[in-house]
Amino acid sequence: MAMMPSLFAYIDYRSIGAHELPRPANTEAVYESVVEDGYNGPAISAFFSFSDESLFDVDPNSVLDDIPYGTIGVADGHNRLETFRRLDMEGRLRSPIIPIQLVPAHNPLVVRLSDIEKPHPEELRVACSYCVGRLALVDECHIDPDLIIENNTTYFIAMLNDGTWSRIRSAQPDILIAKDKLLYE
């Protein structure tokens, strides 16, 4: 269980910024699973770029309308986001409005950006200056679709209730969207 708040909302996936490209093999696995069984997994974890202050204005389970591209960006879920894009391009997605879990990525007491290239020992995973600068770069990537960080070099971690840090996926509940509610046949 996580200390990270479970704040879910709905947003048009086309307005979500990304900071890295999806990995084709992972995206294909997600795509095949969704086409076969519907959506069963974590919502895309996302955050407001540059500040967590807007989190306080979000009503749980509300639809976030008229959000400019990049105002919200992916923390974890680039392959899931790409799956929604692909399904939409194929004309199979019933609606571009998808659930997301909003996370406080700018609050290093709850969620932190870590780095695969410069990993910290588990007990020292703190908001180091390198990772704080990296978070600013991630924010910039969210608003500029032409700016991308090398794939699989950053990841977000969340504080769990037992005081340990783990990948953000460990702090997320799974959601289920039935195939007939998500996709046209």
Give the pLDDT confidence of 41-53 residue by residue, as tens digits: 999 999 999 999 9
- pLDDT band of residue 3 (cuts 50, 70, 90) is low
**Rounded Cα gap, residues 130 and 118, in angstroms:** 9
List, for residues 62-74, the tens digit of each pLDDT value: 999 999 999 999 9
Q: Count of CB atoms within 10 A of residue 42's CB?
A: 19
In this prediction the pTM is 0.88
Nearest to 113 by CA among 70, 74, 72, 156: 156
Token couple for 125: 């995973």
Provide the CA 15 distance to its chain's centre, in angstroms.
Answer: 13
Report, as an integer, the average pLDDT of 108-114. Answer: 82
Grouping H, G, I as helix, E, B as strand and the rest as coil, residue 14 is helix
Q: At what angle do helices 24-37 and 78-89 cross, to 10 degrees?
A: 60
Residue 95: is its pLDDT beyond 70? yes
List, for residues 132-168, the tens digit of each pLDDT value: 577 888 999 999 988 888 777 778 888 888 888 888 8
**One-letter identity of residue 42:** P
In DSSP terms, 111 is beta-bridged to 158
